[in-house]
Chain A
Amino acid sequence: MATPQRVGGHGQGLLATLGVLAGLLILWELAVRVFAPPPIILPPPSAIVAELAAAPRYFLRHAGFTLWTTLAGFALSVVLGVALAVAIVASRWADRVITTVLVVMNSLPKVALAPLFVIWMGTGAEPKIAIAVMLAIFSIVADVALGLRSVDPDAIALARVHQATAWRILWKVRFPNALPALFVGMKVAISFALVGAIVGEFVGGSAGLGYVILVAQGQFDTVRVFAALVVLGVIGTLLFYAVEAAERFALPWHVSQRSAGSISREA
């Protein structure tokens, strides 16, 4: 029996992506050389690479700070988000309260809130982490609550017939059932956590890629702004694929991860 397979393997996909990226960069470089805009408007990629190569420790230090606040915000979002989703599913009352608070929180622009967090928490890592959590937690709560709820009613009936407690049903049925949804939420949340960390760094602080961009912009150092953006893009992409790799590892059983044909389809 032929098993369905995507055209091209993992390596080929990566190769194609890098090819397209390289093509765009060459186009960019050529355009800058031909039209020669002032470097303050658009520097060529070669200048950006040179900027990164000139001060690798500087960029690494600030990227490290942004990475740490992003990951801390993301981890907190997952832990708090799952706990809130469990509460929402467990009680109608908690559902009303938590959902309302989250919707209100989510409809406020975080950029406008960020200065308040700086006033409350200072200019260290804390306000950045707090803003990252505020941005990232919504998708975790929404997706996990949906996953905990959308359980086959017969599976609950089966558990009840065997006299399972509510906690045991949560742990053995609802929670594993919600794992695919958790990963969907985590893929959105990881990007939002990075955005939140940067927003926090824009408002106040002395470290992180957001701070680098802010300072460089003040000095009209467009090359450095671009260099920081490149690092930011690389971090964001790597984080996203890290979550996806974790998903593949954690959910080999899920429909979205299966590749081989099954016996029932072959029969």
Chain B
Amino acid sequence: MTSGISIRNVGKTYASARGPVTALTGVDIDVREGEFLALLGPSGCGKSTLLRCIAGLDAASEGTIRVRGTEVTRPPDRLGMVFQRDVLLDWRSIVDNVLLAAEFQGLKRAPHVARARSLLERFGLGAFADRHPWELSGGMRQRAAICRALLCEPEILLMDEPFGALDAMTRDDLNVELARIQQDGGRTVVFVTHSIAEAVYLADRVAVMSTGPGRVVEMFSIDLPRPRPLSIRETPAFARHVAAIRGLFSRLGIVKE
């Protein structure tokens, strides 16, 4: 489990005007190396908080998170992150935005330019490398953000509802592409979403989370074969997984039948 993530009894409490608020409590997860884990739950279940703690952006109030065996006290090495919004900088061209991942680390641009362009090519943005963000559609912008996260060959990719702001068709499209790069890359991915279908389609395991306080209620293994075509969503096996998770949400009172 050297390149995995181990989360032990992690909790997070915020101070607020009306006293402490528990955002997350008692989370225990081992993410295996090369595994695709989805954190699935309603708003306020602490899934983004957990992701930020893994990224070293926020500190857990209780418990420990280890990445490749090292306790997380600051952002770990070889990490890529994709946010719900693309966070592209308006004053930089698309390829310069992708190169930012290297520049932030103080690495030279030149050795990364070829990889940045080939990544953009692979994501269908080859012709837009020298355009500026405002000239691209929302889906194209989020693809560029994924290229930026992948630039420095991260071993761990954290994605915080990356397709939440996109329309359904663009979302399907990017789900397929993400599944494909996961197939090629074999990196560890933690993916936050509130879409059951998206979680089942993409993940090896789905950690279902609930609110009040935020916690993991159950872990589902998704044993669907890979590669997964989009049409796998019409198979009975896929439907069984979705039904099982929806059933749990309904028992928790999060989804009403």
- Whether B75 and A160, one on each chain, are in contact in the complex, defined by CB atoms closer than 8 angstroms, is yes
Q: Give the distance in Å from the alpha carbon of A163 to the alpha carbon of B89 in the complex.
A: 18
Set B75, B90, B106, B132: member contacting A161, Cβ < 8 A = B75
- The answer to whether A253 and B90 touch (CB under 8 A), given A154-B83, A159-B104, is yes
Set B90, B100, B136, B141: member contacting A254, Cβ < 8 A = B90
- Whether A176 and B104, one on each chain, are in contact in the complex, defined by CB atoms closer than 8 angstroms, is no
Number of interface residues of A (CB under 8 A): 28
Number of interface residues of B (CB under 8 A): 32
CB distance from A197 to the nearest CB of B (A): 33
Q: Does B255 contact A (CB under 8 A)?
A: no
- Whether A162 and B134, one on each chain, are in contact in the complex, defined by CB atoms closer than 8 angstroms, is no
**Chain A 203-229: CB-based contact to B (< 8 A → 1; otherwise 0):** 000000000000000000000000000
List, in ascending order, chain A residues with CB within 8 A of B105's CB.
162-164
Set A160, A176, A251: member contacting B89, Cβ < 8 A = A176
- The answer to whether A158 and B136 touch (CB under 8 A), given A163-B105, A172-B100, A172-B104, is no
- Whether B137 and A158, one on each chain, are in contact in the complex, defined by CB atoms closer than 8 angstroms, is no
CB distance from B101 to the nearest CB of A (A): 5
Set A157, A172, A251: member contacting B83, Cβ < 8 A = A157
**Chain B 95-119: CB-based contact to A (< 8 A → 1; otherwise 0):** 0000011011110000000000000
Q: Give the distance in Å from the alpha carbon of A177 to the alpha carbon of B88 in the complex.
A: 12
Q: Give the distance in Å from the alpha carbon of A168 to the alpha carbon of B132 in the complex.
A: 22
List, in ascending order, chain B residues with CB within 8 A of A172's CB.
100, 103-104
- Whether A264 and B134, one on each chain, are in contact in the complex, defined by CB atoms closer than 8 angstroms, is yes
- Whether B75 and A262, one on each chain, are in contact in the complex, defined by CB atoms closer than 8 angstroms, is no
CB distance from B164 to the nearest CB of A (A): 13
**B101: nearest chain-A partner, CB-CB:** A162
List, in ascending order, chain B residues with CB within 8 A of A163's CB.
74-75, 77, 104-105
Q: Does A267 contact B (CB under 8 A)?
A: yes
Q: Give the distance in Å from the alpha carbon of A83 to the alpha carbon of B83 in the complex.
A: 32
List, in ascending order, chain B residues with CB within 8 A of A255's CB.
90, 134
Set A154, A177, A263: member contacting B85, Cβ < 8 A = A154
Q: Does A173 contact B (CB under 8 A)?
A: yes
Q: Does B81 contact A (CB under 8 A)?
A: yes
- Whether A264 and B137, one on each chain, are in contact in the complex, defined by CB atoms closer than 8 angstroms, is yes
List, in ascending order, chain B residues with CB within 8 A of A173's CB.
89
Q: Give the distance in Å from the alpha carbon of A263 to the alpha carbon of B239 in the complex.
A: 37
Q: Does A258 contact B (CB under 8 A)?
A: yes
List, in ascending order, chain A residues with CB within 8 A of B74's CB.
163
Q: Does B135 contact A (CB under 8 A)?
A: yes
- Whether A157 and B135, one on each chain, are in contact in the complex, defined by CB atoms closer than 8 angstroms, is no
- Whether A161 and B79, one on each chain, are in contact in the complex, defined by CB atoms closer than 8 angstroms, is yes
- Whether A155 and B89, one on each chain, are in contact in the complex, defined by CB atoms closer than 8 angstroms, is yes
- Whether A263 and B135, one on each chain, are in contact in the complex, defined by CB atoms closer than 8 angstroms, is yes
List, in ascending order, chain A residues with CB within 8 A of B103's CB.
168, 172
CB distance from B55 to the nearest CB of A (A): 6
- Whether A161 and B57, one on each chain, are in contact in the complex, defined by CB atoms closer than 8 angstroms, is yes
CB distance from A176 to the nearest CB of B (A): 5
List, in ascending order, chain B residues with CB within 8 A of A168's CB.
103-104, 106
List, in ascending order, chain B residues with CB within 8 A of A254's CB.
90-91
Q: Give the distance in Å from the alpha carbon of A162 to the alpha carbon of B80 in the complex.
A: 8
Chain B CB count within 10 A is highest, among A162, A164, A258, for A162
**A162: nearest chain-B partner, CB-CB:** B104
CB distance from B115 to the nearest CB of A (A): 15
Q: Does B26 contact A (CB under 8 A)?
A: no
List, in ascending order, chain A residues with CB within 8 A of B181's CB.
none
CB distance from A166 to the nearest CB of B (A): 12
Question: Measuring CB to CB, which residues of chain A are less than 8 angstroms from any residue of chain B?
Answer: 152, 154-155, 157-165, 168-169, 172-173, 176-177, 179, 251, 253-255, 258, 262-264, 267
A-B contact pairs, 23 of them (CB 8 A): A154-B83, A157-B55, A157-B81, A161-B55, A161-B79, A161-B80, A161-B158, A162-B101, A162-B104, A163-B105, A164-B104, A164-B105, A168-B104, A169-B104, A172-B103, A173-B89, A251-B91, A254-B90, A255-B90, A262-B136, A263-B137, A264-B136, A267-B137
The 5 A-B residue pairs with the shortest CB-CB distance, nearest first, are A162-B104, A164-B104, A264-B137, A253-B91, A161-B81
Knowing that A157-B57, A176-B91, A264-B134 touch, tell me 5 more A-B residue pairs with CB under 8 angstroms.
A160-B56, A162-B101, A164-B106, A168-B103, A251-B91
